[in-house]
Structure 1
């Protein structure tokens, strides 16, 4: 490899640890969000749920656009995680592939295996995080839009 190729290779290796930490953070967030989602689902099932959207509207007022903006803010991290985790998984998969290919040229089966384990484990964790947060995002968006529609109906009746 020439100097430019070596430099790019070394730079990409520097990103592996931060990307893996971001993947672990997305998994931790997905687990936290799943717990909060399960609690909210249980409260809704038991008819004990107090709408945070309605509470926000009572405190701040505003229009339908204001409520939609509040909804978007509530769903923002779920959306970011569900969309960025797969990309992070791809990055974490591709970075170890370089060393694995180099190990292949040296007939180093152990080096290949170690790098492939990192690559595939990272993408699996990232995809799990994305799947969990996407599920929560989809259902919670529907719940919030139903609440918004209830508030709008109350405006129409008033």
Structure 2
């Protein structure tokens, strides 16, 4: 056999800690990105209206890509971190250890929430920025 299922299970289980670390970093990045967006709304858009449209397009593209990644990747990682602990938790339940299942479910739900927080922030920031940049570009064209 090319691979052993126990090794595969161990490898997948070992992904939980890095995925949760990335989720925590994603929430921190979402908070940072929210602060940048607030500053951009209060001060940056005025400066953009005085810039060349090529510079605005380049800046907009870069910032929208960051928001789009934030909106898409953390929810997927949250799903991964939801599913990974449920396998061992269900196995523990089969062995008569409901406390381990309870811990696995708690970890799974916490990971889901982290992914959704970061994803929602990315979605909102992206939608707002698209509207802001369209307004700036329209004012530059006129």
TM-score by length of 2: 0.88
What does residue 26 of structure 1 align with? 26
Q: By how many angstroms is 1:26 displaced? A: 0.7
Q: Deviations over 1:115-137 (max 9, x none)?
A: 11111100111101111121111
Q: By how many angstroms is 1:75 displaced? A: 1.5
What does residue 35 of structure 1 align with? 35
Structure 1 residues 15, 56: closer, same or farther in 2, change over 3 A? farther
Counterpart CA distance in 1 for 2:92 and 2:131 is 49
Runs of 4+ in 1 over 6 A off after TM superposition: none
Alignment length (residue pairs)? 140
Q: 1:47-62 alignment to 2 at 5 Å? A: 50-57=45-52, 62=54
102, 114, 136: which is aligned to 1:125? 114
65, 79, 95: which is aligned to 1:90? 79
Q: Could you say what the CA RMSD is over the residues aligned between the two structures, in angstroms?
A: 2.0
Counterpart CA distance in 2 for 1:51 and 1:18 is 40
3-state SS of 2:77 partner? helix
User: In the alignment, is the contact (CA less than 8 A) between 2:12 and 2:84 conserved in 1?
Assistant: yes
88, 91, 96: which is aligned to 1:99? 88
38, 57, 60: which is aligned to 1:71? 60
Q: By how many angstroms is 1:36 displaced? A: 2.7
Unmatched 5+ stretches in structure 2: none
Counterpart CA distance in 2 for 1:37 and 1:70 is 13
Say whether residues 1:17 and 2:22 are aligned partners.
no
Larger Rg: 1
Say whether residues 1:135 and 2:130 are aligned partners.
no
Q: Deviations over 1:48-96 (max 9, x none)?
A: 6553434542xxx74xxx6434311122111101111110000000110
Structure 1 residues 32, 70: closer, same or farther in 2, change over 3 A? closer
